[in-house]
Amino acid sequence: RKELLELLEKGVAYHNPELFWEEKNLVETHLKKGDIKIVCASTKYSIGINLPFKNIIIPSNKIHNNDGNYLHDFRTSLGFADIENMGRRAGNSSFGRIIFLAYSLLSETIHQNTYFNLNEHTKHKCKTAIKRLVKEEKGLLTFLLRLSVKYRLKPNEIKEYLKEEATHLSGYWHFSFDKENIEKKIERYLNILKQNKLIKEIKGGILSPTANGILITALKIKVETYLFMKNWMEYSKKGEISNLEILLLLAFSADGKALSIPFSQFYRDDDKKESYSQGCRGNYWNKLLHLVFEQGDEDKKLYQDKIMSKKIKEEAIPQEGNLAFKKTCLLYDWIKGDKDIKTIEQENGLYGGAVQILGEGFSWLADSLMEIAENEGWRKGREEDLNKIKILSKRLIDGVEEEGLSLSRMHIPG
């Protein structure tokens, strides 16, 4: 710690796994203030480092694989992707620069042939591959809302923009839309946004987002998720919402459906077998049905629509519905604390940490639900229900009962 403090005074710091939390925080705080000019990071830790440096220096001894335990020790050069990762330029070659330290003309020539010339030869191939990997996006409704938030466009300008052959960049992703009947789709979706008061036309026919439209974009949720949540708020009864009901709501939202559960290969293969598949689907549905009757909430509209409808009883449960049931059951067990995390993962054939990752995703959705509810006036009329959502969001992160939140919030450094 003393050594680090002395270096910080000179504008130099180091960042590695051996630093305690306070020391890492110290480095990051001084960096954001602009006090640090150079950070020395270990090769392993530089990949996960989150510090905004545009110039990355990679010494010669860091660009080789070196197996010290091998009898006939030798070095092999790292691949181009490894170098990109170390330089924080993977997938974004226009950001910053990587500086190689060559100790001789021979070393410089090797670096030139291994990385620079190789990159020139494969540049065209890389562009072709990236073009093929563009995501065919179905979420045109949300994309149109984000366009209205980011730009001042008229409906005709949006149509021309999306009819272009080029793909469209939005943050990290490149989006490409099906051009068939694109104008009619745009008109229909813009009308949906207007009817739900998410955008409005201002002077000159320009589309402008409303406060609710900006809220959706800020929360980074889909428009379908917002409308689904808002519809539930209108028919839910004051003081009667439960944690199970909220979890099921989040699981059936558009963003909740998109959150994946990483199964092991064994269970993925087994799920293709009809008997196993139908058995598992019935188990999750039966478990939820039992919980609903146990809590005496069978008359609630959400349960009637998603669990107890005649269509669900008579027909095979679709995969999408089964996954929503499974997520609800997993996270209900997670927050109840009756089973430890290892038991939950083993019983459901999940990789280690899968439930916690899912819990964090649902915590984000619960936070979004809370913000929407507060925007709808729940702070005055339904404060108890609002607090229930807020507490559930926190419980989903650590998988604890409400009584355990104070303990889970304690941060023990090191």
Question: What confidence score (pLDDT) does residue 408 get?
Answer: 67
DSSP collapsed to 3 states, the chain: CHHHHHHHHCCEEEECCCCCHHHHHHHHHHHHCCCCCEEEECHHHHHCCCCCCCEEEECHHHCEEECCCCCCCCEEECCHHHHHHHCCCCCCCCCCEEEECCCCHHHHHHHHHHHHHHHHHHHHHHHHHHHHCCEECCCHHHHHHHHHHHCCECHHHHHHHHHCCCCEEECCEEEECCCCCHHHHHHHHHHHHHHCCCEEECHHHCEEECHHHHHHHHHCCCHHHHHHHHHHHHHCCCCCCCHHHHHHHHHHCHHHHHCCCCECHHHHHHCCCHHHHHHHHHHHHHHHHHHHHHCCCCCCHHHHHHCCCHHHHHCCCCHHHHHHHHHHHHHHHHHHCCCCHHHHHHHCCECCCHHHHHHHHHHHHHHHHHHHHHHCCHHHHCHHHHHHHHHHHHHHHHCCCHHHHHHHCCCCCC
Least confident of 136-150, 173-187, 389-403: 173-187
Side chain identity at residue 25, one-letter code: N
Same domain, 161 and 260: no
Is the pLDDT confidence value at 89 over 70? Answer: no
Question: What confidence score (pLDDT) does residue 370 get?
Answer: 95
Task: Say what percent of the chain tops pLDDT 90.
Answer: 27
> Last residue of a domain, which of 220, 254, 271?
220
Same domain, 211 and 274: no
Is the pLDDT confidence value at 231 over 90? Answer: yes
> Last residue of a domain, which of 185, 220, 255?
220
Same domain, 78 and 202: no
Task: Say what percent of the chain tops pLDDT 70.
Answer: 68
Number of structural domains in the chain: 3
The answer to whether residues 15 and 41 touch, using CB atoms and an 8 Å cutoff, is yes
Is the pLDDT confidence value at 162 over 90? Answer: no
Least confident of 67-81, 133-147, 176-190: 67-81
pLDDT mean over 47-74 = 54
Same domain, 347 and 239: yes
* pTM of this prediction exceeds 0.85: no
Give the contacts of 263 (CB within 8 A, at least 6 positions apart): 271, 349, 350, 351
Least confident of 120-134, 205-219, 343-357: 120-134
Q: What is the CATH number of the domain that holds 102?
A: 3.40.50.300
**pLDDT band at residue 270 under the 50/70/90 scheme:** very low
Question: What confidence score (pLDDT) does residue 248 get?
Answer: 96
The answer to whether residues 356 and 335 touch, using CB atoms and an 8 Å cutoff, is no
198 within domain boundaries: yes
Is the pLDDT confidence value at 245 over 50? Answer: yes
* Host domain of residue 250: 224-408
Question: What confidence score (pLDDT) does residue 23 get?
Answer: 79
Mean predicted lDDT score pLDDT of the chain? 76
**pLDDT band at residue 71 under the 50/70/90 scheme:** very low
> Last residue of a domain, which of 112, 132, 152?
132
Is the pLDDT confidence value at 76 over 60? Answer: no
Question: What confidence score (pLDDT) does residue 346 get?
Answer: 82
The answer to whether residues 358 and 261 touch, using CB atoms and an 8 Å cutoff, is yes
Same domain, 186 and 109: no
The answer to whether residues 400 and 337 touch, using CB atoms and an 8 Å cutoff, is yes
Classify the C-alpha dihedral 78-353-358-410 as positive or negative. negative
Same domain, 161 and 266: no
414 within domain boundaries: no
413 within domain boundaries: no
Residue of 348 and 332 predicted with greater confidence: 332
Same domain, 45 and 67: yes
Same domain, 279 and 360: yes
Same domain, 305 and 382: yes
Same domain, 48 and 152: no
Is the pLDDT confidence value at 338 over 70? Answer: yes
Q: What is the CATH number of the domain that holds 200?
A: 1.10.10.10
How far, in Å, are 78, 143, 264, 338 from residue 359 at the CA level? 36, 26, 18, 16
Is the pLDDT confidence value at 374 over 80? Answer: yes
Least confident of 73-82, 102-111, 167-176, 275-284: 167-176
Same domain, 194 and 237: no
Residue of 320 and 132 predicted with greater confidence: 320
Least confident of 31-35, 324-328, 354-358: 31-35
